[in-house]
Structure 1
């Protein structure tokens, strides 16, 4: 598919995940930083993402939202980047990317908000308990150097962001397996470049008011 790429994001948001994916993809793209508040809820931006949230990726006349979807879309749309899974990697690639987008995201968010699923209701919860999720995540990042094997893929952008941010903000337990994985993904040039770009743009947005 042809067409320009435009990423709508905010440097102090989950949009950093999509920004990292764009940097890993090595495709030319434009960035539109959307301030929190009225701008993000305005009609012109809601025409792009009705949720009034970032990130959103526009590719030609198509729009993709949700960080995991953007990661998967970019990897598959531009296979020359080598970020899509090989046949033997597909099971772990999709399994853990969507584990991070579902059970991990829900468990971490609920815990941050002070909500604990009562024992008797864990069967109704998609993730069971926070402890279950942490144990499962530990096994996932310990199986190989990267989440789908011994090669970095787009799934590591999503899972790696969740782990790195969780360690930084204390929403994920500081287990050695998590810290080792975070060091591996944090050593990537595109990861460091994304961090620097977002910090610079965040400061510029603050200065602009």
Structure 2
């Protein structure tokens, strides 16, 4: 009966630890899916867009690659979307900007690029929603998130600053040691030629005149 009513989608293929895994007879009237914290690989199936009753979709903390399927724009009931901490690339589909119920989203810690949808629900998101996606841009980031950068870039700058200080220290410390050593020698022995060079020259002149 369920099949006749179209409540089931035939199958969906996911990768788990390098092994293809087929999920069969997926109930399309599911309202929440949480696959977070696994080791799923491969691309997010385009067939995810057939599950039009979804309210919550969490695919975070996996190893998904490829792009976010534009078919997610068909999930008109979606209220929460989390695809953070994967290896996703490409653009955030503009179709997601048309999901009027989508209140929470997280695209952070991926390799996404391009224009972020400028619709209202995107512009109200905190900067952390797009964190660690250096190549993203658009009106959703131009206001409060203009300086958002990847932790890796920030860390590189901090490391460069530390290295500069270390290099300065390496050059400065031997100079101090050398100066202190010279001062010690001069204070201890005080050679006459250094203490009174003009007097030494005067003696030479007198000796020359005497001869």
Q: Which is richer in helix? A: 1
Q: Which has the higher contact order (CA 8 A, sep 6+)?
A: 1
TM-score (norm 1): 0.24
TM-score (norm 2): 0.24
Query: Which has the greater radius of gyration?
Result: 2
